[in-house]
Amino acid sequence: MTLTSGPAQARHLATAIPGPRSLELMARKEHAVARGVGTTMPVFAVRAGGGVVEDVDGNVLIDLGSGIAVTTVGVSAPRVVDAVRGQLDAFTHTCFMVTPYEGYVAVAEQLNRLTPGTHEKRSVLFNSGAEAVENAVKIARAFTGRQAVVAFDHAYHGRTNLTMAMTAKSMPYKQGFGPFAAEVYRAPLSYPFRDRADGPAAARRAIDVIEKQVGRPAAVVIEPIQGEGGFIVPAPGFLPELAAWCRANDVVFIADEVQTGFARTGALFASEHEGIVPDLLVSAKGIADGLPLSAVTGRADIMDAAHTGGLGGTYGGNPLACAAALATIETIEAEGLLERARAIEELMKDRLCRLQEKDDRIGDVRGRGAMLAVELVRPGTTEPDPELARAVAAAAHAQGVIVLTCGTYGNVLRFLPPLAISDELLNDALDVLAEGFRA
Ligand SMILES: *Cc1c(COP(=O)(O)O)cnc(C)c1O
């Protein structure tokens, strides 16, 4: 089965970007949609498939964003479309808490099988990443009888009240939206490009802050590779040391794998790269190829600490989303997408490192699998250069390449291509980026 559906797989500029029809729609958006919802590109989509998005003006854009790491197996992947169509004909909703259905149980079984560790596990399903993170914290509190939660510098965990408190960056996520949830504490991260510390040293620094300023929390919550915070890969040894401290102190170790999960980094979950086994693992984004679904999976004794009726939600584990998740997992396994993610890493890192050799504004090239980034700085320093990141992204957008920025300092260009993208499209996009750096 092919991974590609929809438009022809080549970049094509039919108009300037944005084109006239997108501009009309942007004007309607401004009058109809709250301005709090921003857009990376003022371009309206009509079709997408493989590694491209086609807009209302007939432009075909190369997708290096996957709708923020969601359409990892390829947008509207054929197996997903078939599975969701079949479920649509059967039923759209009954509410799992009223009359349950097999799809939910099957997704839970798959998550219990696929997440790190061979211990007895349970899963529970929700709608969004933030909702799942909140529930992981609820479960850890119920299990430990403690309240404090430790999150890290540069963390991103969502936009709801508790997850805003856990998210580090004020603007745009938190400013003006407080007061925030109580009992959330922040520890220093391992950020090799900036702190130059090895993993165990960075872990000791974090553990010292936790022991001295918090004591014994209910949970430590961390992204194994930070997403919005700048695609920061902690130094080797940092995560294992932290997980070991949690185990020794009966603190629940929660991996937020919302962005890193589901084959994105060349492993099914990024925890595997460091050999850690989280007590609870949160997944969302890539789990169901764009249908809203999220999950908490973990140790049966911890998961079952929440009383019956204490977890759930009207839509959580919607049957269409469950059908999509099962087809997404089947696609990853049948199409060898873990290998594909590693091949994308090799191709892109090689080209990005060659760019870096000639350009001292590229301070760091990092990431794993199809979750890669460059951190941009003023030449010869580590001083962030967000203007350059914005300018290169704008140049890429004008040439029909969807690329996102991120990072606490806004100076990181991040690349999250769908694994269904061709090498030709990747190379074309990298040519466009190289030209953007020259201009
Ligand atoms: C996107 C993201 C979230 C929030 O997910 P939503 O579905 O937007 O609520 C949480 N954690 C991480 C690491 C994310 O990347």
Q: How far apart are CA 276 and CA 389, in angstroms?
A: 33
Domain ranges of the chain: 20-63+336-438, 79-334
β-strand partners of 414: 373, 404
Q: What per-residue confidence (pLDDT) applies to 1?
A: 47
- CB of 227 within 6 A of ligand 1: the answer is yes
* Strand ranges in 257-400 using DSSP code E only, listed in sequence order: 280-283, 294-299, 362-368, 371-376
- CB of 133 within 6 A of ligand 1: the answer is yes
Half-sphere exposure of 212 (CA within 13 A, CB side): 7
Q: What per-residue confidence (pLDDT) applies to 251?
A: 98
Give the tens place of pLDDT for each residue, 28-74. 999 999 999 999 999 999 999 999 999 999 999 999 999 999 999 99
Q: What per-residue confidence (pLDDT) applies to 4?
A: 59
Q: Ligand 1 centroid to 255 CA: how many Å? A: 12
Place of tokens 């007895």: 120
Place of tokens 């259905």: 101
Give the tokens for residue 135. 């529930």
Sign of the Cα torsion 326, 327, 331, 337 reads: negative
Q: Ligand 1 centroid to 8 CA: how many Å? A: 31
Contacts of 95 (CB under 8 A, 6+ apart): 314, 315
Cα distances from 184 to residues 78, 137, 278, 328, 371, in angstroms, run 42, 11, 20, 34, 28
Cα distances from 238 to residues 107, 173, 234, in angstroms, run 31, 27, 6
| DSSP state letter for 287 | G
Report the residue among 285, 287, 291, 412 best suited for mutation to probe ligand 1: largest number of ligand atoms under 8 A from its CB.
Answer: 285
Give the tens place of pLDDT for each residue, 119-176. 999 999 999 999 999 999 999 999 999 999 999 999 999 999 999 999 999 999 999 9
- CB of 222 within 6 A of ligand 1: the answer is no
Q: Where are the alpha helices (DSSP H) in 317-385?
A: 319-334, 337-357
Q: What amino acid is encoded at 34 in this protein?
A: A
Intervals of the chain under pLDDT 50: 1
Q: How far apart are CA 292 and CA 320, in angstroms?
A: 9
Q: Which CATH class is domain 20-63+336-438?
A: alpha beta
Counting atoms of ligand 1 from 1, which one is nearest the CA of 284? 7
20-63+336-438 and 79-334, same CATH topology: no
pTM score over 0.75 = yes
Counting atoms of ligand 1 from 1, which one is nearest the CA of 158? 4
Q: What per-residue confidence (pLDDT) applies to 229?
A: 97
β-strand partners of 126: 294
Give the tokens for residue 433. 């980026």
Nearest protein Cα to ligand 1, atom 6:
129
CATH architecture classification, 79-334? 3-Layer(aba) Sandwich (3.40)
Please name which of 218, 234, 215 lies closest in space to residue 152, comparing C-alpha atoms.
234
